[in-house]
Structure 1
Amino acid sequence: MLIDTHAIVLSKTKYRDHDLIVRCYTKELGVVGFLLKGVFNSKRGKAKAAYFQLLSQLQLVVVYKANRSLQIIKEIRLANMYTSLHSNVLKSSIVMFLAEVLTTTIKEEEPNESLFSYIETALLWLDVHTNYANFHLLFLLKLTRYLGFYPDEADDGNNYFNLREGKFESKAHDIYAISGDNLLLLKTLLGTTFDELSGVKINSKQRQAFLHMILSYFELHLGGFKPPKSLQIFNQVFN
């Protein structure tokens, strides 16, 4: 069966000498693995492999078989061409980091159009904007809405937020209650859009502390989630 679908590249791994295994989040099929045979064996193949940079947005025609673990791509083209996401050092660091997070959080093999649209739109925003120091923080926070554990804002006037419970509380009942700068930034970002990010002013120490907190939030709510291996490099480059 041929399926025409929009796809976002999550990861890629060289297989044997000349092949490439790629995992993509697709609009029509959810997460799909693809085998690209012989891509490192010819100029034509290498050109094809160049499409699969992390978080690239592609339009694919897939030869799909439900019982096959790795699907075959019949046709490929860029769906959206980035202008800076892979050439800007800071943005490419964000791309590497977020691709790893998305790879470990999105496991579904069925379509989720709202999640796909969110990722697609957010990446296009990042590509064209120059004030993006806090982009990854807001991206991860908003991602929790689609993963099922967005913070409950019902009592957001309280002085603590419980990471395990996902809600604001008047008292610190356990070790998962946060306050201080992390709490203030959480409240700020909950009411912020990407276009309003330039108004959020925090220093690198606060940014790292909040990132550590949001990753802990992911660990508490997603079984098997581990902090990305690229986190240390990301912090060195970005902060």
Structure 2
Amino acid sequence: MLITTRAIVFSALRYGEADLIVKCFTEKSGLKTYLLRGVLKSKKGKLKASLFQPLTQLEIVANHKDKGTLESMREAKVLHTYQTLHTNILKSSVVLFLSEVLRNAVKEEEANEPLFNYLEATFNWFDAHESIANFHLLFLLKLTRHLGFYPDTVDEEMEYFNLLDGTFQVIETNNYCVSNENLVLLKQLLGITFDDLFTVKLNQSGRAKFLMMLLEYYELHLQGFKKPKSLAVLNEIFN
């Protein structure tokens, strides 16, 4: 079926001498993987390799067979031209990290408009703002709402957060119970928007520890999720 849809690029992997395998999250069909033949050598075609940088927002015309195989794409154009995401070294490192997280975390091959709108809006915010050192922390925390394991805030005043159950509790009951600095930061981030991020004061150590906690939370709740290989680069950039 020929379909026109907005799409966000998660990854583009070279295949052979001239082909690309591109993974996109589409507004109308969820996660799709496309085989773009000859795109690395073509100079006259409607598809250019430069269109498929991580997290680029596109409008695509694609043929979806919906049989679990690689799909084909006929046309693509940029819907929102980023001003800083692929040129600012700090932001581009975050982009690589988040695109890897999304490849590992988002699996659904069906439309999820709230998730698509969340990704689109947050990446536009990230592109437009300069105070972004903690952006990836709040992004990952809010993303859990769309993935089905957002923290239960009913007992938020309690002194422990159980990563395994996603709940706050009075006492420590297993090795996945969080307290101290990570708990304080978790409660702070649960109550703010991206526009309030400037109020969060963190050093490199605190940021790294909280990120490791978040990634462990993802590992506990998403089957097959692994810590991104780009994590080391991200930590080095923020150090």
TM over 0.5: yes
Q: How does 1:160-239 map to 2 (within 5 A)?
A: 160-239=160-239
How many residues are treated as equivalent by the alignment? Answer: 239
Residue 3 of structure 1 aligns to a residue in which SS? strand
Find out whether 1:140 has 2:178 as its counterpart. no
Q: Which amino acid aligns with 2:157?
A: G
Instruction: Give the Cα separation in 1 of the matches to 2:59 and 2:47.
Output: 16
Residue 51 of structure 1 aligns to a residue in which SS? helix
Q: Which amino acid aligns with 1:131?
A: S
| Contact 1:38/1:45 (<8 A) preserved | no
Instruction: Give the Cα separation in 1 of the matches to 2:47 and 2:128.
Output: 25
Partner residue, 2:151: 151
| Contact 2:59/2:79 (<8 A) preserved | yes
Partner residue, 2:55: 55
Instruction: Give the Cα separation in 2 of the matches to 1:191 and 1:227.
Output: 26
Give how far 1:173 is off.
1.1
Instruction: Give the Cα separation in 1 of the matches to 2:107 and 2:96.
Output: 18
**Poorly superposed stretches of 4+, deviation over 6 Å:** none
Give how far 1:10 is off.
0.5
Give how far 1:67 is off.
2.6
Unmatched tracts of structure 1, length 5 or more: none
Instruction: Give the Cα separation in 2 of the matches to 1:152 and 1:67.
Output: 37
Partner residue, 2:99: 99
Give how far 1:45 is off.
5.4
Q: Which amino acid aligns with 1:34?
A: Y
| Contact 1:2/1:64 (<8 A) preserved | yes
| Contact 2:8/2:24 (<8 A) preserved | yes
Q: Which amino acid aligns with 2:137?
A: L
* Alpha carbons of structure 1 residues 95 and 221: separation in structure 2 relative to 1, 3 Å: same
Instruction: Give the Cα separation in 1 of the matches to 2:38 and 2:165.
Output: 49
| Contact 2:63/2:72 (<8 A) preserved | yes
| Contact 2:13/2:21 (<8 A) preserved | yes
* Alpha carbons of structure 1 residues 96 and 46: separation in structure 2 relative to 1, 3 Å: farther
Residue 73 of structure 1 aligns to a residue in which SS? strand
Q: 1:126-180 CA deviation, whole Å, 9 max, x = no partner?
A: 0000001100000000000000000000111111111101111111111111111
Residue 48 of structure 2 aligns to a residue in which SS? helix
| Contact 2:46/2:75 (<8 A) preserved | no
Give how far 1:39 is off.
1.3
| Contact 2:47/2:75 (<8 A) preserved | no
Q: Give TM-score scaled by structure 1 length.
A: 0.97
Q: Which amino acid aligns with 2:162?
A: N
Partner residue, 1:71: 71
Instruction: Give the Cα separation in 1 of the matches to 2:43 and 2:225.
Output: 38
Q: CA RMSD in A?
A: 1.2
Q: Which amino acid aligns with 2:117?
A: S
Give how far 1:51 is off.
0.2
Q: 1:106-125 CA deviation, whole Å, 9 max, x = no partner?
A: 01000100001001100000
Identical pairs, percent: 52
| Contact 2:164/2:217 (<8 A) preserved | yes
Q: Which amino acid aligns with 1:81?
A: T
Q: 1:70-101 CA deviation, whole Å, 9 max, x = no partner?
A: 11111111011100000000000000000000
Instruction: Give the Cα separation in 1 of the matches to 2:42 and 2:103.
Output: 29
Unmatched tracts of structure 2, length 5 or more: none
Partner residue, 1:16: 16
